[in-house]
Structure 1
Amino acid sequence: MNYSSYLDTADFQALALHIMIGIEIPVHFLGFYCILFRTPISMKAVKWGMLNLHIWSIGLDLGVSLLTVPYILYPALAGVTLGILSKFGFPVSYQTYLLGVLIGLLGVSIVSILENRYYLLFAREHWWRHVRLPFLIFNYIAACSYFTPAYYYIPEQTEALQNVFKMLPELPQEIYDAPVFVLATDFRYVVFPVCFMTTLMVAESATFIILIYGNMAERNKKLSLSRHTMKMQTTFLRCLNIQTSIPLLILLLPMGYLVISRIFKIYCQSANNLCFIIIAAHGLFSTFIMLYIHSPYREACFRIFCSKITRYSSRFSTVSTVL
């Protein structure tokens, strides 16, 4: 059997992700520049939280598009990696664990920026100031360790690979000849830890959003905050919610397909490839949204690019006049 489309192949997966990383790197550098040098005093309190979120978004992009480049034979939890780490001989089990940790740390960075906002606005004199450090440490430990059961119960590969090939339809010969790695044959060791971490991050994020809006509404009733301050805080919080929620909503598309694929045992390699391309684009979407919705960053980008266009146009006009 041969794949019916170039989209099914490992070559397409590698090429698409390598092209994407070429687009992502300059955009991410622009994001770094804006956070470090164009964050106004009014946003100084959240500067490092935004930088932390940006770093882990970049980490996930680099992890998928450059370091590992996964080619997954879903609905089996098996596949090969085509990235730099494989070229240097890193075991696929380590690479899989790395991706799991990067996803967990991204979730923790979102919770951290929301927690920081709650603390700065409402909890500096609250009992929460004594709990926040252990809370954050717990989250980071959870992000670095939640994938341990999946790693610990990696099956014996020869028998597991036979089970995988029985599950899937006939594959091209190059797949049978490739060093396919099987993460698990029992999905519980992967699904339960992932569900635990996802539920924890969603619950914590929702809690801080509710606490922030609830406290703002209460203070607004008591008129303890000026209208200008309230409007500024509400606008910034809305921007922050958009910055964190839209990329996560984008991730729901591939995640939803992967769940459906597992339930109904659908094997479509081109869809698998496109799912990981969308996942790899998460940080790119996040950076674009950050640069657009926060007005200081948007204005900085307009000045940078408009000045370059103006200089280019003036040079072109000068050359045309001389000719």
Structure 2
Amino acid sequence: MNESDIFARPEWYLFAMNNFIVISLPLHAVAFYCVLFKTPSHAKKYSKKLLYFMIWAFITEIYLTKLMTPVILVPISACTSYGILRSFNFPMSEVAFTAAMLMVMTVNSIVLVFYYRFIVMLPKRNWIKV
């Protein structure tokens, strides 16, 4: 790599990814508290789905910011990892597969939340509500 260029190593990107948790962790804690303890009784069924989404989003965020820290290499279509898992010599294929599965589960939980809200908005007698 060309070390004279400031963009040769993604130092600012890595700094931002490693320190993003300082902002997001308190926000996740407040969101968990609100969903667990401040949800009205008539919305308890929805809060379970929302909690499912929040758990997967939190795990995915921790994995992508601290454990994996993916870096895309632009001139070639490649990706590498600069996170904690690289220090422990985990194979990149397993790290990428785990990241992909976490993202799939997060998208799955988002679809579940939107689907449940759609079902709640439908009238009582609808052919979709079985």
Sort the TM-score into its range (normalised by shorter chain): 0.7 to 0.9
Tell me the equivalent position of 1:51.
51
Deviation digits for residues 274-294 of structure 1, max 9, x if unmatched? xxxxxxxxxxxxxxxxxxxxx
Deviation digits for residues 43-66 of structure 1, max 9, x if unmatched? 323101211221222122112101
Tell me the equivalent position of 1:67.
67
Tell me the equivalent position of 1:77.
77
Say which SS state the counterpart of residue 89 (structure 2) adopts: coil
Quote how far apart the aligned CAs of 1:124 are.
6.5
Tell me the equivalent position of 1:103.
103
What is the 5 A alignment of 1:2-151?
2-5=3-6, 8-122=8-122, 126=126, 128-129=128-129
Task: Tell me which amino acid in the other structure corresponds to 2:5.
Answer: S
Paired with 2:124 and 2:85, the residues of 1 have a C-alpha distance of 44
Deviation digits for residues 83-111 of structure 1, max 9, x if unmatched? 12222222111111122222222222121
Deviation digits for residues 111-154 of structure 1, max 9, x if unmatched? 11121123334376655455xxxxxxxxxxxxxxxxxxxxxxxx
Tell me the equivalent position of 1:271.
none
**CA pair 33-8 structure 1, distance change in 2 beyond 3 A:** farther
Paired with 2:90 and 2:17, the residues of 1 have a C-alpha distance of 19
Structure 2 gaps, min length 5 = none
Alignment identity in percent? 27
Contact 1:3 1:9 in 2 (8 A): no
Say which SS state the counterpart of residue 89 (structure 1) adopts: coil
What is the 5 A alignment of 1:164-203?
none
**CA pair 112-4 structure 1, distance change in 2 beyond 3 A:** same
What is the 5 A alignment of 1:199-238?
none
**CA pair 79-117 structure 1, distance change in 2 beyond 3 A:** closer
Paired with 2:125 and 2:10, the residues of 1 have a C-alpha distance of 55
Task: Tell me which amino acid in the other structure corresponds to 1:4.
Answer: D
Q: What is the TM-score of this pair, normalised by structure 1?
A: 0.36
More helix by share: 1
Paired with 1:85 and 1:40, the residues of 2 have a C-alpha distance of 40
Q: What is the TM-score of this pair, normalised by structure 2?
A: 0.81
**CA pair 22-76 structure 1, distance change in 2 beyond 3 A:** same
Structure 1 gaps, min length 5 = 131-323
Q: Which has the larger radius of gyration?
A: 1
Quote how far apart the aligned CAs of 1:71 are.
1.9
**CA pair 48-8 structure 1, distance change in 2 beyond 3 A:** farther
Task: Tell me which amino acid in the other structure corresponds to 2:68.
Answer: T
